[in-house]
Amino acid sequence: MPGEALEIAARSLAISGTATLLSSTWSIVLAYMLARSPRASRLLVPFLEALVGIPTVLVGLLLYLLLSSQGPLGMFRLLYTPKAIVVGQAILITPLITSVAYRVLTHSWSMYGELALALGAAERQAARLVFSESLPGLAAAVVMGFSRAFGELGVALMVGGNIRGYTRVITTAIALEVSRGEFGLALSLGAMLVAILVLVSLTLRFLGRLRER
């Protein structure tokens, strides 16, 4: 099992890392657009904040219906593949990353965006300063998104199928071991999951401190 556990951990990292990268790309752009548009943000932000806690099984179910062979996206044959989990996790964490990044960028714009414009910056220069000064906050939003993706079960189980050596990730492996009555193994996998999350968070903090120096 140790060899398989490491393989599962590596797969989980790759899937959730890709989902986080994908989701961060559009979520941070969307957050910036909302931060620059008070009217749109008044309508959209409460909606996004409500979706932060959406049950993972619901996202999994909706995606299952879309990706199943009778579904509208069935022709892509994504169901029970790692790609399906990536898409599902990326969708799942979009409201979380967007709403946290929106808070960070709104605060940062009111300070640094205004400062840059007041000093005669073009909008592009102001945006560059805002992003540069927001990096620690944006990194925190990304870490939160990664944690949610890495620790979720519903999407991975419903659209991944927990196929050994292919779509099995830490959370689905834990669920499987619990159903087999292998609580010790399930707890070890759980400890590994938490250790990876802490390690990712500490690494980003360390990088942030290096940048501040």
The residues binding another protein (CB under 8 A) are: 38-39, 42, 111-112, 114-122, 125, 129, 132-133, 212
Contacts of 193 (CB under 8 A, 6+ apart): 12, 150, 151, 170, 171, 174
CB of 50 to another protein, least distance (A): 19
Query: Alpha-carbon distance 88 to 80, whole Å?
Result: 12
- CA 141 to mean position of chain CA atoms: 9
CB of 30 to another protein, least distance (A): 19
Q: Which is nearer to another protein, 42 or 164 (CB)?
A: 42
Contacts of 71 (CB under 8 A, 6+ apart): 64, 65
CB of 38 to another protein, least distance (A): 4
CB of 143 to another protein, least distance (A): 21
What value, to the nearest 5°, has the Cα angle with vertex 168 and ends 141 and 8?
Answer: 75
Contacts of 171 (CB under 8 A, 6+ apart): 12, 151, 152, 153, 156, 157, 193
Q: Which is nearer to another protein, 6 or 122 (CB)?
A: 122
Q: Which is nearer to another protein, 18 or 134 (CB)?
A: 134
Query: Alpha-carbon distance 180 to 163, whole Å?
Result: 16
CB of 54 to another protein, least distance (A): 26
Query: Alpha-carbon distance 154 to 193, whole Å?
Result: 16
Strand ranges, E, within the chain: none
CB of 117 to another protein, least distance (A): 6
